[in-house]
Chains A and B, each alone.
Chain A
């Protein structure tokens, strides 16, 4: 037993600030997330448009009449259909990235932010550290953002460089590219926050997430009325600088009932969804008691 005066005895260490703790968790989680099996799936998803773009470019270089004007007659009306590089790029942004890659990556990574630690039974090690639990979630969320943004956006960039110069101009489409990159990053951030909350709150979050993006969002957008306001896609699609494709029946119906909210309104609601669900996810993590199955 020591007779050390109380003033010299080390007291309980003060918890580091949330941001510093989050950055430490970010540093730890980024590598784990980037080199996980899930990333192989992500690479396949983002590599597909690049491969298709390269293939198209090759076909055009070999003289395939892909970009020529095609004339068809429908109901006695002659129609001229002509595809240009910027139009194909816009189509790919809609079909590959906005409708599939962004929500799907949001579901797979967002729902797994905490679920992976619970499944691996390693969450105890994180929660016994002298940091706030919300900082763990925030750090993992930042790692998710870095991981997805640094994989998805370079893929968009390669598609742009391959596709747009075909009967288009890189300079002429540059502003659209910047808008596309910004809205895809925003989409990843908002979907990540939403599914981060679902992952912390519910059991079977992956199933709920898939039902949300492929069931609820698609159905709500296809019906007239205000239900579409309870989707992320409604606000995100209003920011797209390209024409909406009508490549299948569902898209055609969605196009008929499509309403575009004003830019400021869309940005505001996306910001609200982002902040609210990220805060809710942090709140749930702070209060939830995680019971690890033995």
Chain B
């Protein structure tokens, strides 16, 4: 073998080795994300790969939306609760939380969802509050976990001051993942999230789910993506109902909230036939809704905005709830 041949082979082997090495490192660290990756890519790395549902809410956008402003004017019910929550934890929900990612893990036992929140948090104050209520602090893979034992009282923005964690419920754990990033959930769920990030076995390695997230995450400030078949199998539904349910593998729901709400529902069926059957069902429902709308002009705008689309395995339904319809809600609430 001549030197020229040797150099060529070594060069080719080096390109292969560098490429495979880069891919392998990316695979194990979950790194090297897309050039235009989802803005929540970092948070999604804490969501375990087997999560059956992942949801996201842009809290800042929702809190600043016209719709929220109108609802706040009409129903200022929880103001004292929020103020007490802020006094205890230092968190102003309207300003300090940027967005939250919620994940539900599959399993036969019902578990509380994992909530990962990005924002501005006073870690030491949160830890002190937890300790005052009987919480314990531990380290897990370099992250601080504050556990509130069952029976302890924890702050709640809805209730105003504090609520009891019921005996027999899973232990609530608050984890400080990174600066400005916390996770709340039951102990095993939070530890699994930390493991997922450390071992790179997170939802970001699930290409199918990430593709859906990228599709709907770009323009919407609320979305949820999940495995419909996993949820249906866990729901313990009777066989008669299960056999009549559409063969849907994935579902995605997304919405953009501002003055009105525009949204879309999307289902990825197992095959083209199942998708066509689902499209037929939706077409039937839409026809019925249009008939009903003829006698109720208030809902005509909403029904007219319903659009069925999708080809192959995809079935999508988009809708717009105009600001005019939403303006009626506070009035209706006031009348009641």
Contacts and interface: CB of A to CB of B under 8 A. Distances in A.
A151 B5 contact: no
B265 interface: no
Given A31-B2, A77-B309, A177-B23, A171 B200 contact: yes
A157 B34 contact: no
Nearest to A167: B34
A84 B207 CA distance: 11
Contacts of B12: 150-151, 153-154
B27 A171 contact: yes
B31 A171 contact: yes
A30 B200 CA distance: 41
Interface stretch (B14-22, B73-81, B290-298, B321-329): B14-22
Contacts of B22: 161, 170
Nearest to B15: A154
Given A84-B214, A169-B210, A150 B4 contact: no
Interface in B187-217: 200, 204-207, 210-211, 214-215
A173 interface: yes
Contacts of A168: 34, 207
B140 interface: no
Interface of B: 1-2, 4-5, 8-9, 12-13, 15-16, 18-20, 22-24, 26-37, 200, 204-207, 210-211, 214-215, 307, 309-311, 316
Contact of B35 (A27, A77, A154, A166): A166
Contact of A174 (B13, B24, B36, B311): B24
A174 to B, nearest CB: 4
Interface string A68-87: 01000010011110101110
A127 to B, nearest CB: 23
A171 B210 contact: no
Contacts of B205: 169, 171-172
Contacts of B211: 84
A173 B207 contact: yes
Nearest to B312: A79
In the A-B complex, list the 4 residue pairs whose CB atoms are closest, starting with the nearest: A157-B19, A171-B26, A78-B309, A170-B26
Query: Most chain-A CB neighbours within 10 Å: which of B16, B29, B206, B310?
Result: B16
Interface of B is mostly: helix
A173 B37 CA distance: 15
Contact of B204 (A27, A34, A158, A172): A172
A171 B35 contact: no
A148 B28 CA distance: 30
A69 to B, nearest CB: 8
A167 to B, nearest CB: 5
Contacts of B29: 171
Contacts of A77: 309-311
Contacts of B35: 60, 85, 165-167
Contacts of B215: 69, 80, 82
Interface residues of A, number: 39
A154 B18 CA distance: 10
Contacts of B311: 74, 77, 79
Given A154-B12, A173-B23, 18 more contacts: A69-B215, A78-B307, A150-B8, A151-B12, A153-B12, A158-B19, A160-B23, A161-B19, A166-B35, A168-B34, A169-B26, A169-B37, A169-B207, A170-B22, A172-B205, A174-B23, A177-B19, A178-B23
Contacts of A161: 19, 22
A35 interface: yes
Contacts of B18: 157
Contact of B9 (A60, A80, A86, A150): A150
Of the candidates A60, A166, A169, A175, the one having the most CB atoms from chain B within 10 angstroms of its own CB is A169
B23 A170 contact: yes
22 contacts: A31-B2, A34-B8, A79-B309, A82-B215, A85-B35, A86-B207, A150-B8, A151-B12, A153-B12, A153-B16, A154-B15, A157-B19, A158-B19, A160-B23, A161-B22, A169-B26, A169-B205, A170-B23, A172-B207, A174-B27, A177-B19, A178-B23
A146 interface: yes
A59 to B, nearest CB: 13
B5 A31 contact: yes
Contacts of A177: 19-20, 23
